[in-house]
Amino acid sequence: MFYWIYDVPTPQLAGLFALSFATFSVVGCLLIRPILRMFVRSRSETNDVVGYVLSCFSVIYGILLGLLAVAAYQNFSHVELTVTNEASALAALHYDFAGYPEPHRQELRALLADYLHYVIEKAWPLQRQGTIPKGGIEKAVAIQKRLLEFQPQTKSEEIIHVETLHQFNEFITYRRLRLHAVTTGIPAVMWYVVIVGSIVNIAMIWLFDMKFMTHLVLGGLFAFFLGTMIFLIAAMDNPFRGEVSVSSDAYRLVLELMEQSQ
């Protein structure tokens, strides 16, 4: 339900997260802090007890955020590598097609160019919306069908044909991995824990016994950075959504290579 955040430009999204958390901290200091202070007696050891509990909780919560940030980055890098591998397999197919006699060579390259145009112009916009594109399978099958129709006449053509079929299978594998990655992301239950943990962290700051302005500044800065950290995880969570996403540049480079070699 929060996918709308990926329609917001990245700088504004970062500010929205950070300022929302800071505002929540300030409002809590004004409205909720007096109520919470009623349950904590004003004693000299109050800050020590609250600080000890907060430090223990922050360690657990910090580990959770750190692990999620690493997981989000690794998933992003894995998807980016998958896209690069698929584009590399397509580039290899383009070079392999050079070993086929006419008219097979031009027909296969035309089918390959058609697939690249589809991925760049139609599939990628769908992926950025979280929708798995389905039209590419027809174009991939068309390439496979044309390859299977070819009958090698010489030993060199047979070697090239075997290598091309192997490269085509590699392309299909990376294509399936890319499509699977369209809907990957951090499970909703983990986001629930992150949100609850951030609220508890900020609420425990409200329990400290200190001057009001100092409370506002320290609590605001703490919440500001907490919001920035959660923004970082959210921005990388879905590799194909938002401005911080995997682009189709790798496919564009292959298409430019094909156009230059014609």
Q: Percent of the chain scored above 90 by pLDDT?
A: 58
pLDDT digits (tens, 9 = 90+) for 46-72: 778 888 888 888 899 999 999 999 999
Please check whether residue 93 is in contact with residue 112, taking contact to mean a CB–CB distance below 8 angstroms: yes
pLDDT in the model for residue 166: 94
Three-state SS across 75-116?
HHHHHHHHHHHHHHHHHHHHHHHHHCCCCHHHHHHHHHHHHH
**Gap between the Cα atoms of 193 and 92, Å rounded:** 45
Predicted structure pTM score: 0.85
User: Worst-scoring range by mean pLDDT, 63-67, 137-141, 255-259?
Assistant: 255-259
Q: What is the mean pLDDT of the chain?
A: 89
Instruction: Look up residue 179 and give its two tokens.
Output: 């499509």
Arithmetic mean of pLDDT, 137-148 = 92
6/177: higher pLDDT: 177
* Rounded Cα distance, 258 and 92, in Å: 11
Q: Do 87 and 251 touch, CB atoms closer than 8 A? A: yes
- For residue range 80-107, what is the model confidence (pLDDT) as tens digits? 999 999 999 999 999 999 888 888 899 9
* pLDDT, tens digit, 9 for 90 and up, residues 227-246: 999 999 999 998 999 888 99
Work out the average pLDDT over 191-198.
92
| pLDDT 10s digits, 9-45 | 889 999 999 999 999 999 988 888 878 777 666 666 7
Percent of the chain residues topping a pLDDT of 70: 97
Q: For residues 146 and 111, is the Cβ–Cβ distance under 8 A?
A: yes
